[in-house]
Amino acid sequence: MAIQIYQAVLATLAVFILHRLYRYSKLSSRAAGFPPGPGTVPFLGNLHQLPISRPELKFATFARQFGSITGIKAGCQNMIILNTWQAVRDLLEQKGSIYSSRPTIPVCEIVVPGGLNPALNPYGDLWRGQRKKLVDFLGGERTDKMKPVQDAESTQMIFDMLKSPVNFEHHVDRSFGAVILATVFGQRGKTFEHGGKIESFFKVEEQWSAAVGPTSSPPINSFPFLNSVPDWLTPWKGWKLRALGIKGEQERLYIGLLNETRERLSHGKGANCFLSQCLVTQEKEWYDDTYLAYLGGVLLEGGAETSSSATMVFIMAMAAFPEVLERAQEEVDRVCGVSRLPGQEDTANLPYIRACMLEVLRWRPVTPLAIPHHTTAQDTYQTYNVPAGTDVVINCWMINHDETFYDSPATFNPSRYILNDFGASAPVDLETNKGRRLNYTFGAGRRVCPGQRFAENSMMMLFAKLVWAFDIEATGKLPLDLQEGWTEGVVIRPKNLPVKFKLRGGDRKKVVHDAWLEADAFLQQFE
Ligand code: HEM
Give the tens place of pLDDT for each residue, 111-169: 999 999 999 999 999 999 999 999 999 988 889 999 999 999 999 999 999 999 999 99
Side-chain half-sphere exposure of 10, counting CA atoms within 13 A: 6
Query: Is the pLDDT higher at 271 or at 4?
Result: 271
Confidence (pLDDT) at 406: 96
Q: What is the pTM of this model?
A: 0.94
Q: What is the pLDDT of residue 216?
A: 83
Name 70's bridge partners: 81
Q: Where are the alpha helices (DSSP H) in 164-238?
A: 168-180, 197-211
CA 361/CA 442 separation, integer angstroms: 9
Run of H or E including 393: strand 391-394
Return phi, psi of residue 32, to 5°: -60, 135
Question: Do 205 and 301 form a contact (C-beta atoms < 8 A)?
Answer: yes
The pLDDT of 243-264, averaged and rounded, is 96
Whether the predicted pLDDT of 1 surpasses 60: no
CA 224, CA 76: separation in Å to the nearest integer? Answer: 8
Predicted confidence band at 27 (pLDDT cuts at 50, 70, 90)? Answer: confident
Task: For the sheet with 391-394, list strands across it.
Answer: 69-74, 77-82, 391-394, 373-374
pLDDT at residue 125, rounded to an integer: 95
Taking the C-alpha atoms of residue 479 and residue 484, their distance in angstroms, rounded to an integer, is 6
Q: How confident is the model at residue 495 (pLDDT cuts 50, 70, 90)?
A: very high
Quote the ligand 1 centre to 119 CA distance (angstroms).
8
Q: What is the pLDDT of residue 159?
A: 98
Buried b (16+ CB within 10 A) or exposed e, 34-53: bbebbebeebbbbbebbeee
Please tell me the predicted confidence (pLDDT) of residue 332. Answer: 98
What's residue 232's pLDDT?
84
How far apart are alpha carbons 314 and 351 in whole angstroms? 16
3-state secondary structure 244-310: HHHHHHHHHHHHHHHHHHHHHHHCCCCCCCHHHHHHHCHHHHCCCHHHHHHHHHHHHHHHHHHHHHH
The SS3 call for residue 401 is coil
Average pLDDT over residues 92-111: 95
Ligand 1 site, residue 447, Cβ cutoff 6 A: yes
* Alpha carbon of 349 to ligand 1 centroid (Å): 26
Ligand 1 atom at minimum distance from 309 CA: 1
Ligand 1, atom 9: nearest CA belongs to which residue? Answer: 442
Say which residue, 512 or 210, is predicted with more confidence.
512
Helix or strand run (H / E) with residue 381: strand 379-381
Distance from Cα 366 to the centre of ligand 1, integer Å: 11
Burial of 132 (C-beta count, 10 Å sphere; 0-12/13-18/19+): exposed
Give the ligand 1 atom nearest the CA of 446. 41
R_g of the chain, CA atoms, integer Å: 25
Q: In degrees rounded to 5, what are phi and psi of residue 407?
A: -80, 130
Whether 450 is in the pocket of ligand 1, judged by its Cβ within 6 Å, is yes
For the cut 70, the answer to whether the pLDDT of residue 48 exceeds it is yes
- Count the residues in the chain: 527
Nearest residue (by CA) to ligand 1, atom 7, is 442
What angle in degrees, to the nearest 10, is found between the helix axes of 125-138 and 289-320?
Answer: 60
Per-residue pLDDT averaged across 322-335, rounded?
Answer: 98
Which of 173-177, 236-240, 303-307 has the weakest average pLDDT?
236-240
* Cα angle for residues 102, 108, 111 (degrees, 5° grid): 145
Distance of alpha carbon 200 from alpha carbon 256, whole angstroms = 12
Q: How far is the CA of 127 from the centre of ligand 1 (A)?
A: 14
Q: Identify whether the C-beta of residue 9 lies closer than 8 Å to the C-beta of residue 20.
A: no
ipTM of the complex: 0.99
Q: Which atom of ligand 1 is nearest to the CA of 491?
A: 5
Q: Which residues are annotated as a binding site for heme?
A: 449
Q: Which long-range contacts (CB under 8 A, 24 or more apart) does 346-355 make?
A: 346/464, 347/457, 347/460, 347/461, 347/464, 350/460, 350/464, 351/418, 352/327, 352/328, 352/414, 352/418, 353/328, 353/460, 353/463, 353/464, 353/467, 354/417, 354/460, 355/414, 355/415, 355/416, 355/417, 355/418
Per domain, the residue ranges of the chain are 31-526
Do the beta carbons of residue 346 and residue 314 sit within 8 Å?
no
348: β partners: none
pLDDT of 5 > 80? The answer is no
Report d(CA 209, CA 195) in Å as an integer: 19
Ligand 1 pocket member 364 (CB < 6 A): no
Determine whether the shortest distance from the Cβ of 366 to ligand 1 is under 6 A. yes
Q: Give 414-478 as a 3 state SS string.
A: CCHHHHCCCCCCCCCCCCCCCCCCCCCCCCCHHHCCCCHHHHHHHHHHHHHHHHHHEEEEECCCC
CA of 333 to the centre of ligand 1 (A): 32
Using a CB cutoff of 8 Å and minimum separation of 24, what contacts does 520-524 make? 520/152, 520/156, 522/148, 522/152, 523/149, 523/152, 523/153, 523/156, 523/182, 523/188, 523/190, 524/188
**For domain 31-526, which architecture applies?**
Orthogonal Bundle (1.10)
Nearest to 468, CA basis, from 382, 342, 360: 342
